[in-house]
């Protein structure tokens, strides 16, 4: 657990913790209904997904979902699936604190890289990632099978 002047970061381990993340997570994943979040996180946890939350004065102000895996291109990777700060609490250091917390988890796990994908329309997020010393290393392609 990380304690900083503006908040506490910890794993969301209980169903209640996971459910409390929904209002912030929904800002990134608007299709995700509150009734779906706990089951989705539990299902993904079986594949290594972890969810962290940052609280300030008892309120969730940022969330991050990630997993650690190995691949031939990067070796051991901490991959960030979800990273979002509450719109009402942006530019207060919550995202940077969460990012730094994830970097520390990656180092502790022996990862060579921390990686994520970001929607092409998310310009503010891209500026944030570049400020965090990330580089744009590839394009992500998708083929819908539905």
Q: Look at residue 99 in the predicted model and tell me its pLDDT.
A: 95
Residue with more model confidence, 3 or 68:
68
Q: Look at residue 124 in the predicted model and tell me its pLDDT.
A: 87
What tens digit of pLDDT does each residue of 69-113 get?
999 999 999 999 999 999 998 888 999 999 999 999 999 999 999
Whole-model pTM: value is: 0.90
What tens digit of pLDDT does each residue of 130-139 get?
999 999 999 8
CB 65 within 8 A of CB 50: yes
- CA 142, 78, 137: angle at the middle one, nearest 5? 50
Domains of the chain, each with CATH number or no CATH: 2-131 (3.40.630.30)
Rounded to whole angstroms, how far apart are CA atoms 27 and 87?
8
CB 8 within 8 A of CB 1: yes
Rounded to whole angstroms, how far apart are CA atoms 15 and 38?
6
What tens digit of pLDDT does each residue of 25-55 get?
999 999 999 999 999 999 999 999 999 999 9
């Amino acid at each position: 657990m990380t304690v900083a002047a503006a908040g506490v970061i910890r794993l969301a381990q209980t169903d209640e913790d996971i459910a409390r993340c929904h209002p912030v997570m929904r800002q990134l994943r608007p299709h995700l209904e509150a009734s779906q979040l706990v089951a989705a996180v539990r299902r993904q946890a079986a594949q290594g997904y972890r969810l962290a939350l940052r609280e300030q004065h008892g309120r969730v102000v940022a969330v991050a979902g990630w997993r650690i895996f190995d691949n031939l291109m990067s070796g051991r990777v901490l991959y960030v699936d979800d990273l979002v700060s509450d719109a009402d609490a942006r530019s207060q250091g919550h995202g940077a604190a969460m990012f730094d917390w994830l970097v520390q988890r990656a180092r502790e796990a022996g990862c060579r890289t921390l990686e994520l994908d970001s929607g092409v329309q998310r310009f503010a997020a891209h500026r944030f990632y570049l400020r965090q010393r990330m580089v744009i290393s590839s394009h992500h392609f998708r083929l819908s099978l539905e």
